A and B are shown apart, each in its own frame.
Chain A
């Protein structure tokens, strides 16, 4: 499905969020408020996005941006679903009830970013040891073992 078509269908579903649908580098992305992210995901799944390709987060300073990559075989399309999470209280509803695929991916985000997924059945660290301190993919993570970049690089 062409990206403009996708945009129309999403806009028909969420007229108020239509301005938040952006097309960049040939990929559609919709940014929704955090409290609507779960219902939006459920609606998109209803629309035909049967696969949750990826869950990840980006450290945007004051906020984390949580990024879901949805993939659809029937629509032959993929799109992003994004939401901003306040850094002070990083809580996101878990998608495990919609896609079990979210299980490990959300554990990974929890492990590396410290974002808490509410409703996750088994939220533990997955890549790092259980006693690890801090969340390494946060930009303010410090570790004396990280070698600073040489100045001429």
Chain B
């Protein structure tokens, strides 16, 4: 029997490409024989734009990198600026940053788990995850007035102090969240169909994960025990006691479930941070509005919900960055897709893409 390969363009506008990604797929029946992600549909040239803006003006741009986890890009950028300009961030601001970023991790992972569920057709599990995400977003709205692009972490600190009663509401959230996660765990990850769909799908070898620069939960699902919060500690993370969940099979199931357990661990970190939080300033003293760091280059990275998010800044001494480069984890993670998706069916391809949890604002920049 002679068969002909079917070429299929998935995207750039498709329900399951998590943004505007185009997958050029060749199918033999339902089996994927070739896949090539074609990116750049959301390329806005943020790195070029940053060269034309002052250091403060770049912060809102970083919001728009990873729009599911704005706080991370804010923070990574601010850390690079602080390193470059030698700014010492007050302790309270560091704690607030940790708290909001762990909340952001929960919000972002809810998106990741939810999209894993939605890709397999479990729409309800998707919405159960999103209900939790909404609670986080409500906390953020109270904090900084925005629900998506926060512009909250600034060079030198954070833009607002915690409003009255926020700490209690945050504690109420972390109190109920692990339970909700365990329910989703039982409901979705325990479901026979979901397990059949996710297990053994898109297996990523740990060595390949390291070589391809995959980081974050996507790599930890493969058993790569690498978390910047623990292994290259920054900010006040050394003061917290938390575990890093690891998978062993490296399939879509492990990647998604690592995210789920990370949310529970994030709650632990948030509780400890709230316990240790003390009153104080939230912005570094004597910070000029027009930063002009001395010439040089600095790189700083943090563990975002997608992996190690780095910002490389070059200053020429003027008030504007000479060059800004964002090392986006989603970009590096996505590159591994052809490696792990070929040989699976079309249905699995989208599950695998979803399990890498790319956000195309960050991939394309």
Contact between chain A and chain B defined by CB under 8 Å:
yes
Chain A interface residues (CB < 8 Å from chain B): 24-27, 29, 50-54, 56, 58-59, 67, 69, 71, 73, 76, 78, 80, 99-101, 103-105, 108, 112, 125-129, 136-137, 149
- Is chain B's interface secondary structure helix, strand, loop, or mixed overall? mixed
Interface-centre pick from A58, A127, A136, A149 (highest chain B CB count, 10 A): A127
Whether B210 is near chain A, meaning CB under 8 Å from some CB there, is: yes
Which B residues between 286 and 340 are near A, CB-CB below 8 angstroms? 296-299, 301, 308, 310, 312, 314, 322-323, 325, 327, 331-332, 334-335
Looking at the complex, which one of A78, A101, A126, A127 makes contact with B232 (CB distance below 8 Å)?
A: A78
When the two chains form their complex, are residues A76 and B231 in contact, meaning their CB atoms are under 8 A apart?
Answer: yes
- With contact pairs A58-B322, A99-B211, A127-B43 given, residues A69 and B299 touching in the complex (Cβ less than 8 Å): yes
When the two chains form their complex, are residues A73 and B48 in contact, meaning their CB atoms are under 8 A apart?
Answer: no
CA distance A129 to B322 in the complex (A): 25
Looking at the complex, which one of B45, B212, B231 makes contact with A136 (CB distance below 8 Å)?
A: B45
Complex interface bits, B40-69 against A, C-beta within 8 A gives 1, otherwise 0: 100101011000100000000000000000
When the two chains form their complex, are residues A127 and B48 in contact, meaning their CB atoms are under 8 A apart?
Answer: no
Looking at the complex, which one of B52, B212, B310 makes contact with A101 (CB distance below 8 Å)?
A: B212
CB distance from A107 to the nearest CB of B (A): 9
- With contact pairs A105-B332, A149-B52 given, residues A67 and B312 touching in the complex (Cβ less than 8 Å): yes
CB distance from A108 to the nearest CB of B (A): 8
Whether B83 is near chain A, meaning CB under 8 Å from some CB there, is: yes
Whether B84 is near chain A, meaning CB under 8 Å from some CB there, is: yes
Whether B213 is near chain A, meaning CB under 8 Å from some CB there, is: yes
Whether B364 is near chain A, meaning CB under 8 Å from some CB there, is: yes
CB distance from B198 to the nearest CB of A (A): 25
We find that the number of chain B residues with CB closer than 8 angstroms to chain A is 36
Q: List 18 A-B contacts (CB under 8 A).
A: A25-B83, A26-B83, A50-B211, A51-B213, A52-B213, A54-B325, A76-B231, A80-B299, A100-B212, A104-B334, A104-B335, A105-B331, A127-B40, A127-B365, A136-B48, A137-B47, A137-B48, A137-B323
- With contact pairs A69-B310, A80-B299 given, residues A126 and B39 touching in the complex (Cβ less than 8 Å): yes
Which B residues between 147 and 189 are near A, CB-CB below 8 angstroms? none
Nearest CB in chain B to that of A73: its residue: B226
When the two chains form their complex, are residues A128 and B40 in contact, meaning their CB atoms are under 8 A apart?
Answer: yes
CB distance from A63 to the nearest CB of B (A): 14
Complex interface bits, B189-232 against A, C-beta within 8 A gives 1, otherwise 0: 00000000000000000001011110000000000001000011
CA distance A56 to B311 in the complex (A): 11
When the two chains form their complex, are residues B43 and A51 in contact, meaning their CB atoms are under 8 A apart?
Answer: no
Q: Which residues of chain B have C-beta atoms less than 8 A from A125's C-beta?
A: 40
Complex interface bits, B337-365 against A, C-beta within 8 A gives 1, otherwise 0: 00000000000000000000000000011
When the two chains form their complex, are residues A127 and B364 in contact, meaning their CB atoms are under 8 A apart?
Answer: yes
Q: Which residues of chain A have C-beta atoms less than 8 A from B39's C-beta?
A: 126-127
Q: Which residues of chain A have C-beta atoms less than 8 A from B335's C-beta?
A: 100-101, 103-104
CB distance from A67 to the nearest CB of B (A): 7
Q: Which residues of chain A have C-beta atoms less than 8 A from B208's C-beta?
A: 100
CA distance A51 to B307 in the complex (A): 13
